[in-house]
Structure 1
Amino acid sequence: MTGATGFYVWEDCSDWNAGKSGPIPILLYSASWSDGSTTYYQYYNGKRYDVLQGGGNYYLTMTGDIWGQGGALFEADAIDPAYGAPPQPAYACSGFNH
């Protein structure tokens, strides 16, 4: 990997928080490779987890083909210390237990 850039995708808060709604930003990384290819991953608990992209949706490869369901990603926005992350955008995840 020659470098990586953090970015946020917007998912539905209810995928992780029952009874809540609205958008929630989920941190992903776009990794660049010397052959010109790009892959995606999430950083969590000190490890990188492969993420696949298709049709504008993302999912962790370890959770299977769950297109369009944000619950297939980690909610925790652990920052990859090697590459940092952009500032987290404001979001509106609301409902009971907020």
Structure 2
Amino acid sequence: MSKFDVKKAGLFAGGVLFGTAGIKALSSKDAKKLYTNCTAAVLRAKECVMKTASTVQENAEDILAEAKQINEDRDAQEAATVEEAETAEETVEEAEEAETSEI
């Protein structure tokens, strides 16, 4: 049983030493330099992503405005076509009435 307790104590001590060495390594000047460089890279990436997002948003706004203009033009063209058809129909009716009144 004492063998088992010694093994547990050895594992615990090893864990403490490993943890202490890890903390020292993570708080060293080299590690801080690495963290700083990584943070700077993330900030540059964020700036790039924001520029791209802004460009995409501007393009989407342009596309929306052009699509609205196309629909307005199409509606105006349809209205003109319907108006021409109604005018032509009225002209035909007037011509038929004129023919029947002449007879």
What range is the shorter-chain TM-score in? under 0.3
Q: Structure 1 length as normaliser, TM-score?
A: 0.14
Higher RCO by CA contacts (8 Å cutoff, separation 6 or greater)? 1
Whichever structure has more strand as a proportion of its residues is: 1
The structure where helix makes up a greater share of residues is 2
